[in-house]
Structure 1
């Protein structure tokens, strides 16, 4: 059916309402066929444009394709229901007839939206990804280093640039700033010490959307890459952290000046071996810059006594102008005001040694000083655990804390929720002393130099075997499983099978995730791993678990998520100590034997495709985390002890389907709630809630809920006094986050309507609104949030007002507000002080904004060049 003019829509609606169910079903099939043809055309066009020209689809095109997939999957259910319903009048037949009419209208709208008169593709020269980065330290030196690299990059005669300097001097940070400044097409590849040509090819292919999974010959792979890269204009490839030279042609990098290459390395010989036309040294900080950085990391308001200041300057000199060393040492001494402690710390820094073969004599003693000064063995153990992940691995903070908890690294206080809080406290300690770096809002990473230090320490005690992300293929030599190993990581490799019976009596963590393992695991493999607490086999191709898993009586975490071919697991009856069980996205057909014996289970992750996700599952009383993608959750309101719940990819319309005549006290203990990819979600509750509902909620995450127009009522929102974190992203129909007080909750004592124009949220620390194209308002009331320290607002072009009021003492540590200059200037503010505090975080972005920013930056570079 062609596009329906507005004037004919009423007649069209009357027409389809008058037809029989069978006639409308036939019409729906015809409309679906036409929609499917359009879908095929779009996919083919996108694939060609992505592989040949490196172009990406617009966000609206991606969302449209997702909606088409969703309605296509719904058709199967509709067809099945139509076969079951009789031909005579019944309520079921009427309801089904109404559903078919609704789907016809949805398909027609999708066909209309699928015309894309303005094209399918994003303009990559403007809409390029931005890498998170930190501020450059050492104003003069860092800026001089950056501009020298930028000028070489702008030189048409220069193709290959080498940037070198000692570890921790700031090469990667500078290059991230360079990367974000580049307006042409660009690729970032982390090389690292254990690289291979195949791994580099995979990284580049993934960046440009080229599928090399079926091509195993290195030469043919390079030819395909070469052909794809040649079609891209003004391409810049950045190879970060190179340790030895390699021929660019072996990877597939074009040799002409249309493709520029920049590499960073600790070794000048690598620049020579790569025949770099420009070799640029990243210099250490001057004495003055080093001292300013040291003072800044102690705290802007800190006043040192003359005695302590003298010692602090000596400690700064011990760091030899190395930014990473200065930052870690100063962070370790933050809030220390005892001069005796400072004198002792200086002596410790002078004596500090790693005593590890191959460690840099200048750098690692400085970094180890910060490790040695961690306040407890528990914190040190948690830090070392991070070395098990591959280099530059962006680890979700929640996931990392769960590993620590399952391993028993967090002090056993008997209360699971308190352990979670303690885990976040330890994480913040490691971030505060700069041994971990916060990455975006939910992840952390470890600097490669810090990771080298941790791995060096764990070669002795505690004993780790870390072979993560180094492209091991085939099988593992059983000798790698040493008898004294306490933790082993082979994650993110190409391991096909595990055979033999390793003798690892001390082993407590084994990470095998993100390997094919299509050859599966020998039945006796876990026989002699009786101390094992954490077994991670997630994202592998295993079809079954060996029987020896059933005897791992000390196991605390069994992670099998995204094992899509896994159909059965052995008995879990003996795993009475199990705390975390993740069976989501598996093909398990029956509830595992012994599930009822998991009396200590705290966190359960399941999917609607699992038998364990059906109503036959009896949930343990002590469960505090339940993550599911169920199509309905009849038991949810009754889980009064539930503290964390993630729900994704299901057809639910309401989190709590409460009717107006019901009064429920709902989820009074819930602390963390995540709603992801829910295509039909309309809101939290369609009825009324009693006092205490959501009273403990601290974290709220909403992602890709395309029909959600608002999240909650004002009456509910103003009582969320524990709320710390709000993150809402890619909800295309959301016009306001908090709906004005039209829908009142039950007015009982303590729940009277708010007549004031302000709402106090004393604990709100993080607010993120991203990719909300229709968002006009967050809240009509002014939100007073004295604890706000992080804010991110991006791609919300219709947002007219930011109703935040910040106290004068509020310190926003992380922020990014992206939009056009016109949008920023037109924003309304209830509190002028808030605009002043947030102004440093505003960046020009969006279609027009990025053009303006590019022009401003080019003018700034030109001006700097003239001055020099």
Structure 2
């Protein structure tokens, strides 16, 4: 990666000089000339320069072809190609018309001149952007460690001991690998996550890779291909065009060559050949740590074993009390003996202690504790797959739930082991199954569903998934849930996701209430299974399934939820019309499915329809007859990439869906959309009085970060004018200030995600991209926001140039890619700001425009400055005196910064600078000479300091006297060795 940075930096330096010597005359000629031939010539030269610059960048990227090109670079390339094509067509048209003397007399030269000048301005802008592509031609190298959510185990020697032992073993040359061995539920994964996050590990290895190896209940690891995919994603490798596992292994091996890695393999069930995956054997100090229940697993990879036992009674008591968090129980002397017996019943399982403590936390009376203990003891101790204690305790917790909560809990076990379940879709299925109350209306059912979800998470029966939008069910709990459902006459579930090549026979389907056959490999289904009681059928991600038998749905009259996502089906059989009670139909990513059944109007109860990324490229006409449809998710796209025809979305259907609450429109490419199409959709949508969520999405990921809540408005649109028109036309949303919660994404075709960390904490969130000018009407609609992102705004020199008063209540702000911004805020701007992120601001000279006042900065906690190449001053005296709440400061890739704290501040004498600053990160500051020259200043809260690539920083202002809480300094060894003390 060092090579990439060097090459790109050198190239950018040359291009920067070219900007001054070449681009300025081009700009002047295009702007001033009225000579058509001169404009023609200059435009021709400019587009040739643009093509040359594209080739230069492509050559750099090609030299590092194992890395994925960055999204910024990819988007720039697409716009360059499109603009180049447009200019060539324009110049060809001019050539043809110029050759005809009879035509040239009538040629509208002024129009041609305007068009050429407009294209010329576009080309110059792309040339300037190409000059600014610093360090973003290819993705940055993979992070050395990706931190995981891990419980604190320091108070529990049974868990901390194996962690410390493993850490010690990793420092020994003779240790190839370590097997962390223990029974299910003993805390092996918790130990591994703490190992992954440990500062010593970060210092010992170049890269740490965490891989979840287990699959469903079968005693097998994931396939080599899936493991390679996980490793490639972790290493940020471009695997496009890789044809087989051998080629993939070579790519991975090449990337890891010379790197000292730590490979963490969680839940290994069988021997594993890491060489087959592409991971080189441990020859340079690299190590492997794996968790397993089996003593024989991967003996060729590991030569040390660390055993994990169940918690002692003392530790169990400590953990139970911490989770319980009920100091009032100490006054009830009769309760403590009961509590200790309850803890003993958990058998030292950390997971069970957590679950039981959360159950008893809600019991206020001593009598209830006594009854709970008796219930806990009463359950059968019949052993089932070695989960005797687990079954007993989880069954107790299950019985402590209300009836509707029990059914919702068991429903969660339908999803594959360790899968992240999108919470909103889970709620849709619960609602369709009438698990949330069927007579209280959709709004009430949705609220009930969220209450149940919170309750199950509070009791640890469900956990938060990869983000707060997802939930997951621990594999132990899931196994017990399946065991419980097998004995429930009203909840018979057939679940199998272990790579079946043949589906269960028709006899197995009979009398089932729910069937989940996700992630299998079968190509066929039973002809006509008899399952009149079946209410949910999950068949998603069966890619080999292409044909559904004609009579397959004939005996499924009770079916309410059908998920066929990511299957190879080409059509839906006629027997589906027999399923008149169907409420949820998921067909996303069925790319061979070209149409919906003609008799769709028979599905009068259908409430949710998802056909995104299927072969259906518009809103089918049949949909208009679905009077009860509340949620519709569709895709619009052209037939192929070269198709220039207008998108025919059949949007007249939208206005007829009077019950619609959510509309998601997924677009293959923003370039396929004209404003005319979007405005037409907006006009239709504006008539829907029940709509609460509208999304224009330009990739699958947008759905992952935008929550659909009945009381929350979230809109993603390509242009500000469109959203303003929508607000003006929509009766129920006309006064946006009355809406309690919203997220608006305006013009964010390249940058779709909220970028402010923990964005979900802000109720009123606006992201505005690629805007121009000031006093735009849309800005007046958003005077009351909690978080604001301004991305790639073209012509403002400071925030106040937007021409609107910045909302006083803004707590989070991100400013990125605003190429003309010189200073950000003044003393009256953003008075309640807590978190400020400033990135890729090439002309930024100072953060604060007024260096004599700083009355609005007293609440700032976070400041991140990244890639601000002209920024010289950070903290003037008047500013730093106001920053009493600052906790986190990160400065990176700001080449002009010489000092963090100015000399004028130092001259004021001894003071407690930034008294709450806990973490300071300085990266790629090539001219930084000092953090603070006054070594007598105190840094009373500083805990962590990270410094990377700051070659001219030779001295630190910290000591044990003025920074007594400083625990960690992370830096390059050669820099540390040369440091002056």
* Correspondences of 1:185-334 after superposition (within 5 Å): 185-192=207-214, 193-194=217-218, 196=220, 199-208=223-232, 209=237, 211=239, 220=246, 224=250, 227-228=253-254, 231-248=257-274, 253-258=279-284, 259-270=286-297, 276-299=302-325, 302-304=328-330, 305-334=332-361
* Correspondences of 1:659-698 after superposition (within 5 Å): 665=734, 672-673=742-743, 675=745, 678-679=748-749
Q: Residue 652 of structure 1: which of 710, 719, 726 is its match?
A: 719
Deviation of 1:472 (Å): 3.6
Matched, 1:62 2:63: no
Deviation of 1:828 (Å): 7.0
Is the CA contact (8 Å cut-off) linking 2:329 and 2:335 kept in structure 1? no
Matched, 1:466 2:502: no
Is the CA contact (8 Å cut-off) linking 2:395 and 2:484 kept in structure 1? no
**Alignment partner of 2:483: what SS?**
helix
| Structure 1 unaligned regions, length at least 5 | 51-55, 685-696, 746-752, 762-766, 786-790, 807-814, 860-868
Deviation of 1:508 (Å): 1.8
* Correspondences of 1:78-93 after superposition (within 5 Å): 88-89=107-108
* C-alpha separation in 2, matches of 1:290 and 1:626: 49
Is the CA contact (8 Å cut-off) linking 2:799 and 2:825 kept in structure 1? no
Q: Residue 620 of structure 2 corresponds to which residue in structure 1?
A: 592
Q: Residue 369 of structure 1 corresponds to which residue in structure 2?
A: 396
The 1:715–1:100 alpha-carbon spacing in structure 2 relative to 1, beyond 3 Å, is closer
Higher relative contact order (CA 8 A, sep 6+): 1
Matched, 1:146 2:174: no
* C-alpha separation in 2, matches of 1:101 and 1:416: 54
Q: Residue 385 of structure 1: which of 389, 411, 414 is its match?
A: 411
Matched, 1:424 2:450: yes
Deviation of 1:341 (Å): 0.5
Is the CA contact (8 Å cut-off) linking 2:589 and 2:612 kept in structure 1? yes
* C-alpha separation in 1, matches of 2:512 and 2:583: 18
Larger radius of gyration: 2
1:471-518 Cα offsets, whole Å, 9 max, x none, are 345x53444851122222222344445463333222222222233246
Matched, 1:615 2:651: yes
Is the CA contact (8 Å cut-off) linking 1:246 and 1:274 kept in structure 2? no
1:23-66 Cα offsets, whole Å, 9 max, x none, are 78756754564355345435433433x4xxxxx66xxx332223
* C-alpha separation in 1, matches of 2:727 and 2:109: 26
The 1:661–1:243 alpha-carbon spacing in structure 2 relative to 1, beyond 3 Å, is closer
1:635-680 Cα offsets, whole Å, 9 max, x none, are 2544443212222237434452349999982566685546388238
The 1:232–1:568 alpha-carbon spacing in structure 2 relative to 1, beyond 3 Å, is farther
1:538-568 Cα offsets, whole Å, 9 max, x none, are 2334343333334432111112223334322
* Correspondences of 1:521-532 after superposition (within 5 Å): 521-532=548-559
The 1:341–1:71 alpha-carbon spacing in structure 2 relative to 1, beyond 3 Å, is farther
The 1:553–1:79 alpha-carbon spacing in structure 2 relative to 1, beyond 3 Å, is farther
* C-alpha separation in 2, matches of 1:280 and 1:847: 38
Is the CA contact (8 Å cut-off) linking 1:471 and 1:493 kept in structure 2? yes
Deviation of 1:344 (Å): 0.5
The 1:742–1:492 alpha-carbon spacing in structure 2 relative to 1, beyond 3 Å, is same
Is the CA contact (8 Å cut-off) linking 2:185 and 2:351 kept in structure 1? yes
Q: Residue 517 of structure 2 corresponds to which residue in structure 1?
A: 490
The 1:828–1:542 alpha-carbon spacing in structure 2 relative to 1, beyond 3 Å, is farther
| Structure 2 unaligned regions, length at least 5 | 1-13, 98-105, 639-646, 668-672, 699-716, 755-760, 849-853, 867-872, 889-913, 925-944, 949-965, 973-981
Is the CA contact (8 Å cut-off) linking 1:647 and 1:675 kept in structure 2? no
Matched, 1:45 2:63: yes
* C-alpha separation in 2, matches of 1:80 and 1:564: 34
1:792-838 Cα offsets, whole Å, 9 max, x none, are 999999999997979xxxxxxxx999999x999999798967969x9
Q: Residue 863 of structure 1 corresponds to which residue in structure 2?
A: none
Deviation of 1:263 (Å): 1.1
1:692-726 Cα offsets, whole Å, 9 max, x none, are xxxxx985667895669999999766656xx8xx6
Is the CA contact (8 Å cut-off) linking 2:740 and 2:764 kept in structure 1? no
* C-alpha separation in 2, matches of 1:818 and 1:560: 42
**Alignment partner of 1:606: what SS?**
strand
* Correspondences of 1:396-545 after superposition (within 5 Å): 396-439=422-465, 440-461=467-488, 462-468=491-497, 470-473=498-501, 475-479=502-506, 482-498=509-525, 500-517=527-544, 519-545=546-572
* C-alpha separation in 2, matches of 1:595 and 1:150: 60
Is the CA contact (8 Å cut-off) linking 1:613 and 1:628 kept in structure 2? no
The 1:310–1:280 alpha-carbon spacing in structure 2 relative to 1, beyond 3 Å, is same
Deviation of 1:101 (Å): 3.4
Deviation of 1:388 (Å): 1.9
* C-alpha separation in 2, matches of 1:227 and 1:281: 31
Q: Residue 123 of structure 2 corresponds to which residue in structure 1?
A: 104
Is the CA contact (8 Å cut-off) linking 2:224 and 2:277 kept in structure 1? yes
Deviation of 1:591 (Å): 4.3
**Alignment partner of 1:64: what SS?**
helix
* C-alpha separation in 1, matches of 2:353 and 2:862: 26
The 1:108–1:278 alpha-carbon spacing in structure 2 relative to 1, beyond 3 Å, is same
* C-alpha separation in 1, matches of 2:516 and 2:602: 25
Deviation of 1:161 (Å): 0.8
Is the CA contact (8 Å cut-off) linking 1:818 and 1:846 kept in structure 2? no
Deviation of 1:402 (Å): 2.3
* C-alpha separation in 2, matches of 1:707 and 1:472: 52
**Alignment partner of 1:577: what SS?**
coil
Q: Residue 188 of structure 2 corresponds to which residue in structure 1?
A: 171
- Cα RMSD for the two superposed structures: 5.0
Deviation of 1:465 (Å): 2.0
* Correspondences of 1:560-575 after superposition (within 5 Å): 560-571=587-598, 572-575=600-603
* Correspondences of 1:694-709 after superposition (within 5 Å): 699=763, 705=769
Deviation of 1:363 (Å): 2.6
* C-alpha separation in 1, matches of 2:218 and 2:52: 51
Aligned length: 793
* C-alpha separation in 1, matches of 2:343 and 2:768: 48
**Alignment partner of 2:267: what SS?**
strand
**Alignment partner of 2:210: what SS?**
strand
The 1:535–1:312 alpha-carbon spacing in structure 2 relative to 1, beyond 3 Å, is same
Matched, 1:554 2:603: no
Matched, 1:5 2:75: no
Matched, 1:162 2:179: yes
Q: Residue 809 of structure 1 corresponds to which residue in structure 2?
A: none
The 1:646–1:702 alpha-carbon spacing in structure 2 relative to 1, beyond 3 Å, is farther
Deviation of 1:331 (Å): 0.7
* C-alpha separation in 2, matches of 1:302 and 1:792: 42
* C-alpha separation in 1, matches of 2:838 and 2:573: 47
Between 9-18 and 397-406, the greater mean CA deviation after superposition: 9-18
The 1:88–1:652 alpha-carbon spacing in structure 2 relative to 1, beyond 3 Å, is farther
Is the CA contact (8 Å cut-off) linking 1:516 and 1:541 kept in structure 2? yes
Deviation of 1:438 (Å): 1.6
